[in-house]
């Protein structure tokens, strides 16, 4: 598919998918990015790769995302061959200097309702599922494992999370898994959004919120609430909508983190717990200690 024998392959280690992810070079000098996974290794990852293949097959040209070169699906294997984007992940300096550019790129994602990607899942449905996190923690008697502030405000968090789905309704293409490891900044400063298996249709500010949560998790020196009040991506978004989405995210992360890790994904629960703690602290700041 790349038009020549592969002479070099460099494994990329970011992310959580238990499959291969390699930058490759052919004998003609053409570059590509190949990601592949076996359903025998992790069925969820296999289905996510299949979903990403469908998304990338219809990705609008205006979106700065790697183009799909080709794919291979056979038995329980799926592989995607994409353009290789040479770049770095944002936030490495931990000074917040990349945040504005990433939010600008998210704000440029197009409205897609009624286009060839109209069959993407609704963000309202995907995010509404987050609301059950708090209820499942209570039902399983796992409240004692939560931080003290979370326990003291559990009902308020649960009520806020119940609105998470409705507040993210919209008509834009949304990534629904926007973290630094799913973003690249090339040598000219252009922002590329990568890894699209969770893509849906909804309010594009939600991606910006999850990116800010990830920036706080990484320890970037940012004023997240100041950015919410100043960046155009969040213009007109009520504080209650931010709180609802953040409460939903935090609840589902706490809920997922307490379960055994999926096959061949040993680090994901620690990551989810870390982000849940950061989400809870952000809400504590927003609501007042």
Domain 6-82, CATH 3.30.200.20 — does that match? yes
Whether residue 167 is predicted with pLDDT greater than 60 in this model: the reply is yes
Q: What per-residue confidence (pLDDT) applies to 15?
A: 66
Alpha helices in 199-266 (DSSP H): 205-218, 224-230, 239-257
Instruction: Identify the weakest region by mean pLDDT among 29-33, 50-54, 111-115, 178-182.
Output: 111-115
Average pLDDT taken over every residue of the chain: 94
15: Cα within 13 Å, side-chain hemisphere: 22
CA–CA separation, 21 and 37 (whole Å): 9
DSSP letter, residue 122: B
Q: What per-residue confidence (pLDDT) applies to 204?
A: 94
Q: What per-residue confidence (pLDDT) applies to 218?
A: 95
CATH topology assigned to domain 87-287: Aminoglycoside 3'-phosphotransferase; Chain: A, domain 2 (3.90.1200)
Whether residue 186 is predicted with pLDDT greater than 90 in this model: the reply is yes
Mean pLDDT of 53-81: 95
Whether residue 106 is predicted with pLDDT greater than 70 in this model: the reply is yes
Mean pLDDT of 157-182: 97
Q: Residue ranges per domain, the chain?
A: 6-82, 87-287
Q: What per-residue confidence (pLDDT) applies to 116?
A: 77
Convert 220-259 to b/e letters by CB count within 10 Å (16 or more is b): bebebeebbeebebbeebeeebbbbbbbbbbbbbbbbbbe
Instruction: Identify the weakest region by mean pLDDT among 67-71, 127-131, 176-180, 259-263.
Output: 259-263
Could you tell me the pLDDT band of residue 64, with boundaries at 50, 70 and 90?
very high
Tokens coding 4: 């020549």
Whether residue 289 is predicted with pLDDT greater than 70 in this model: the reply is no
Ramachandran region, residue 91 (left: φ > 0; alpha: ψ -120 to 50; beta: rest):
left
Q: What per-residue confidence (pLDDT) applies to 174?
A: 98
- 201-250 confidence digits (pLDDT tens): 999 999 999 999 999 999 999 999 999 999 999 999 999 999 999 999 99
CA–CA separation, 8 and 35 (whole Å): 15
Could you tell me the pLDDT band of residue 41, with boundaries at 50, 70 and 90?
confident
Q: What per-residue confidence (pLDDT) applies to 209?
A: 98
pTM of the model: 0.94
- 4-20 confidence digits (pLDDT tens): 999 999 998 766 677 89
Mean pLDDT of 257-283: 93
Could you tell me the pLDDT band of residue 192, with boundaries at 50, 70 and 90?
very high
């Amino acid at each position: 598919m790349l038009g020549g024998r592969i002479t070099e392959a460099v494994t990329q280690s970011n992310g959580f998918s238990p499959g291969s992810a390699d930058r490759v070079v052919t004998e003609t000098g053409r570059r590509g990015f190949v990601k592949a996974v076996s359903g025998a290794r992790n069925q969820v990852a296999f289905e996510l790769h299949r979903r990403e293949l469908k998304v990338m097959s219809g990705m609008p040209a205006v979106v700065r995302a790697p183009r799909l070169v080709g794919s291979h699906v056979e038995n329980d294997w799926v592989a995607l061959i994409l353009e290789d984007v040479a770049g770095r992940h944002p936030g490495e300096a931990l000074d917040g200097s990349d945040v504005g550019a990433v939010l600008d790129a998210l704000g440029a994602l197009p409205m897609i309702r009624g286009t060839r990607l109209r069959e993407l899942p609704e963000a309202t449905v995907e995010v509404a599922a987050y609301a059950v996190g708090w209820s499942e923690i209570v039902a399983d008697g796992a409240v004692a494992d939560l931080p003290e502030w979370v326990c003291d405000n559990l009902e308020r968090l649960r009520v806020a999370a119940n609105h998470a789905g409705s507040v993210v309704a919209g008509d834009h293409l949304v990534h629904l898994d926007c973290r630094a490891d799913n973003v690249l900044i090339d040598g000219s400063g252009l922002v590329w959004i990568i890894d699209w298996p969770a893509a849906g249709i909804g309010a594009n500010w939600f991606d910006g919120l999850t990116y800010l949560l990830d920036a706080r998790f990484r320890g970037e020196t940012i004023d997240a609430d100041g950015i919410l009040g100043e960046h155009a991506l969040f213009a007109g978004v009520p504080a209650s909508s931010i709180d609802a989405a953040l409460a939903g995210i935090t609840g589902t992360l706490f809920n997922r983190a307490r379960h055994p890790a999926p096959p061949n994904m040993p680090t994901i629960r620690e990551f989810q717990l870390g982000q849940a703690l950061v989400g809870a602290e952000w809400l504590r700041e927003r609501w007042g200690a």
